[in-house]
Amino acid sequence: MVCNEQASGFVKPDDILKTGQFTDFSILPSRGYNLLVRAKRHGRWWMLKGLKEPYRNDTVYQVLLQKEYEITSQLQYPMVVSVFSVEEVEGFGPCIVMEWIEGQTLKEWLAQGKHSRKQRRHVADMLMEALAYVQSRQTQHRDLKPSNIMLTHDGQHLKLIDFGLSDTDSHTILKAPAGTEGYMAPEGASDIYSLGCILREMELGWLSHWVVRRCLAPLHRRYKDVASIQRDLHRCWRWPKRILFIISISVLVMLYGLWSHSYNQQGLQSLSDSLEVYKKESTEKMVDEQAKTDTLQTQLNTLSQQREYEQAVLQQKQGRIMAAKKQIDRQVQAYGIEQMFDTVSCRRNVTIPVIRIADELLRDAKDDEVKEYILERYRKPWLKRLSELPFD
């Protein structure tokens, strides 16, 4: 990176514009060697910064004025005072022409003591943003204090002013220590240290004290840039909200737990009551089912006994019929019927005893099945065989 080094020097007559257009001059109170004059030109107010008469012809102070102009003119930022030129103003000598800022200093603003913490943090944010820009231009203000910070009346805009003691790496002259007691670091001018003093006065919240303490720490422990300070402050400012959020969530969780416990207790009681009702209904139903089962079992037992009885009766009957059939077969064999059929005699002589025997058997039979047996086994076959016998 190529850096065009700028060196301070004497104010040359050719560099100074001569004008007589300023009017309505009013000298403002100021300390030190600088002269502050409010003047009007082209219907607009301007701030003229020159040298008080005892220092006006002193070369050292002329160089200081020129150095301030060279440094400030390179800072083009909404939160830094704008300078336009160095001009010879009649009656005041060489003056830096800069914008007029209508408002009050941060010192006056803080003295009112009626601003909320949110408003103070907003102003601190703007101050850090402006100082970060100045640092990015390799520039040190070297006299940072509340009286060198301007605020508009509504406190919404900020301007860094008075770069009379500022310095850059590119300037090689007037490197003597500078600053204001109470805002200057022990080792000399330090914008970080001065910023810490201002932030301490602004009372940005108890967590911000950790950041302020590091700004005011010895050089080896101090912040190296404004961006780190701004980042850590934003973290501190967010922590109370996070803690409040965590507490709120914890309270909600606790309330939900209590409600859930109560709801679960009610649910368990309701479930227990439902189970009791179900148990009672189930018991009654089981008793009814058991009674029905017992009745059905009794009926089945009765039917089984009845069936066994009927089977016993049936077996007894079948046994009796079988016995009767066997008895009839023995009687038929005893009559010698087969021999009668084999006898060569007249049909009439055979027919009469055979039919008579069959009728006697039918008459003596008590069961229909026995009678059917006699008819089918003996009487009908006998009649058929008799019809086939030859006539005598």
pLDDT band at 10 (very low <50, low <70, confident <90, very high): very low
Cα-based torsion angle of the residue sequence 378, 381, 382, 384 in order, rounded to the nearest 10 degrees = 160
Phi then psi for residue 79, to 5 deg, are -100, 15
pTM for this entry = 0.59
pLDDT at 295 over 60: yes
Q: What is the pLDDT of residue 261?
A: 74
Using one digit for the tens of pLDDT, what is the confidence trace for 372-385?
888 887 788 888 87
Q: What is the pLDDT of residue 5?
A: 44
Q: What is the pLDDT of residue 202?
A: 93
Q: What is the pLDDT of residue 13?
A: 46
- Give 184's contacts (C-beta < 8 A, 6+ positions apart): 177, 178, 190, 193, 194
pLDDT band at 174 (very low <50, low <70, confident <90, very high): low
**Cβ–Cβ under 8 Å, residues 165 and 179:** yes
pLDDT band at 3 (very low <50, low <70, confident <90, very high): very low
Q: What is the pLDDT of residue 349?
A: 59
Using one digit for the tens of pLDDT, what is the confidence trace for 20-60?
589 999 999 988 899 999 999 999 999 999 999 999 999 99
pLDDT band at 9 (very low <50, low <70, confident <90, very high): very low
pLDDT at 149 over 90: yes
State what percent of residues in the chain have pLDDT above 90.
43
**Average of per-residue pLDDT across 202-229:** 93
SS (H, E, C) the chain: CCCCCCCCCCCCHHHCEEECCCEEEEEECCCCCEEEEEEEECCEEEEEEEECHHHCCCHHHHHHHHHHHHHHHCCCCCCECCEEEEEEECCCEEEEEEECCCCEEHHHHHHHCCCCHHHHHHHHHHHHHHHHHHHHCCEECCCCCHHHEEECCCCCCEEECCCCCCEECCCCCCCCCCCCCCCCECCECCHHHHHHHHHHHHCCCCCHHHHHHHHCCCHHHCCCCHHHHHHHHHHHHHHHHHHHHHHHHHHHHHHHHHHHHHHHHHHHHHHHHHHHHHHHHHHHHHHHHHHHHHHHHHHHHHHHHHHHHHHHHHHHHHHHHHHHHHHHHHHHHHHCHHHHHHCCCCHHHHHHHHHHHHHHHHHHCCCHHHHHHHHHHHHHHHHHHHHHCCCC
Q: How far is CA 178 from CA 74, 110, 147, 195, 201, in A?
A: 21, 25, 16, 15, 21
Average pLDDT over the chain reads 84
Q: Residue 216 corresponds to which tokens in the numbers above?
A: 């005011």
Q: What is the pLDDT of residue 23?
A: 93
Q: What is the pLDDT of residue 269?
A: 80
Using one digit for the tens of pLDDT, what is the confidence trace for 346-360?
455 566 677 788 788
Instruction: Report which of residues 158 and 360 the model is more confident about.
Output: 158
**Cβ–Cβ under 8 Å, residues 340 and 354:** yes
CA 59 to chain centre: 69
Q: What is the pLDDT of residue 225?
A: 94
**Cβ–Cβ under 8 Å, residues 40 and 46:** yes
Phi then psi for residue 386, to 5 deg, are -65, -35
Q: How far is CA 360 from CA 153, 327, 370, 374, in A?
A: 153, 13, 13, 10
**Average of per-residue pLDDT across 304-326:** 85
pLDDT at 146 over 90: yes
Phi then psi for residue 378, to 5 deg, are -120, -60
**What is d(CA 290, CA 294) in angstroms, rounded to the nearest whole number?**
6
Instruction: Report which of residues 61 and 7 the model is more confident about.
Output: 61
